[in-house]
Amino acid sequence: MLAISFYCDVLSSNLAAATPTCVRDKRLDQIKIISNSLSAMMYLIVLLIVIPIVFYLYGVKNYSYWKKRGVKHDDPVPYLGNNVKQYTQRASMAMTATDVYRRYPEEKIVGFYRGTSPELVIRDLDIAKRILMTDFHHFYPRGLLTHKTVIEPLLKNLFFADGDLWRLLRHRITPAFSSGKLKAMFPYITERAEKLTIVAEEYAANKTVCDVRDLMARYTTDFIGVCGFGINMDSLSEDNSEFRKLGKRIFHRTPRDALCAVLKHVFPEMFKNFNLLSPEIEESMVHLVNTVLKQRDYKPSGRHDFIDLMLELKQSGTMVGESIEERNPDGTPKIVKLDLDDLLITAQVFVFFGAGFETSSSASSYTLHQLAFNPEYQEKVQKEIDEVLAQHDNKITYQAVKEMTLLEMAFNEGMRMYPSVGFLIRECATNNYTIPEVDVTISKGVKVIIPIQAYHNDEKYFPNPEQFIPERFTPEAKKNIPHYAYLPFGEGPRACVGARLGQMQSMAGLAAVLQKFTFEPAANSKKVPTPDPKAIVSENIVGGLPLLIKKRNL
């Protein structure tokens, strides 16, 4: 460009000396136009070369992270890292993590890039224990939120929250799931379980195929409606109830949702105001909770459901506790406070609904699926149910369900084969944390993935993992399962707070239907279900779990 400018200056000088004034001025103007055009063209050429190079370098700037630390990993794709299949909805995160786990059988840890961010897949159980329990204070965040300060209202809940918000909420919400609270909720469970058998009776009488994945989701929806909101949703009777539609929408990932997730991961600051949840979900949940709060005059109603607990917490005043994030100059934790407003209540109800809706229904339906393909064990379970209920006036009670050990073993094996949540994520909250087992140091903000689905289906921990063998979970056999190889509800301080409630509700529903009905494979049943690549947090099945229901001859 300097050469062009110099050439044009020389040419202009020669013209000025040898040409009449009017002609000279005209030609000088032409030369200036040519000069400007050539300069603009050169600038454009430089930009066309420089911009792609800069764009490329920005997209790969972090991809030397694991190589510098000697951690094996797949070659990443610019901007998308090793997460291309999940971003394009061809594999869920659980499927992706399991694939990484299986392709590096000799490694304790494997590097991974989600977009441009380095993450770590944990293959070693001792390291998993360290992350989830031993060194939890270094890994207390889940790191599910892409931005630390701009957070969607409904995601300020116990599952997504990190730091002090999580600690205060966890401390105050945990009492909602005590043994006393669970017993108080059990009558609601038995009512829904009885309705579940009525619907199952219709399928048996009509000899029609039943998608048990959908059936158990409807049962769970009704239970959540009454135990969470004090509302009779009647999703079992109405296939298209609004509550059921809301549950489906929360866990259905549209192309818009997928694109939003990619943009927020790759460019978190630029797209921090993009919401992962659609406006319709937020509006529906806020309207629902506000309606119930107004009906109760913003005071506990005596129903002892989840919203009552939230109102009791609000009445008790400001939450106060020790900070997990900040310390005073003397090293003691700072005191932090939190006021529970209506929107924060809505966020907790949202996760109570979402977590219960998906995890409990999937666990119970997978169990029915396996029992249908293993009729000998189904008969054993039914015999046990008959014997236990005979000792409890033929009624499904809290104590009766606790005594159904064979059913519990089947339920545990179902969760092993098809865990509702196939992976856990934790984020390093400490600068330069060193993992002793491999002498690898990671930076603050690096996320680690615990691939639950891979652990559960590793023949090293569970011989013949593709086979349904409930005897793995007898009291004696359980002692041989390595700790942290079986994590259906997570482990450590951030383990699922509602695990016992979910298991109790699922077991009661299973006992109710298995007492009266036998489940068999349908013509279109698949012994090995096809996992849904579009699944988000909880795993799902393509095409549901179709089975035949037949009434037992009692």
The annotation places the binding site for heme at: 496
**Which residues sit in the known binding site?**
496
CB of 115 within 8 A of CB of 80?
yes
Q: What share of the chain is helix, strand, coil (3-state, %, to 5)?
A: 55, 10, 35
What is the Cα gyration radius of the chain? 30
* 3-state SS, residue 39: helix
Q: Which residues sit opposite 427 in a β-bridge? A: 447
Instruction: State CA 110 to chain mean position distance.
Output: 21
* Long-range Cβ contacts of 257-264 (<8 Å, 24+ apart): 258/87, 258/88, 258/89, 258/534, 261/87, 262/80, 262/87, 262/115, 264/146, 264/147
H runs (alpha helix) in 321-421: 342-373, 375-390, 398-402, 405-417
Beta strand 447-450 with 117-122 is parallel
CB of 96 within 8 A of CB of 85?
yes
Task: Give me the residue label for tokens 């856990």.
Answer: 424
**What six digits make up the tokens of 54?**
């800069």
CA distance 157 to 496: 13
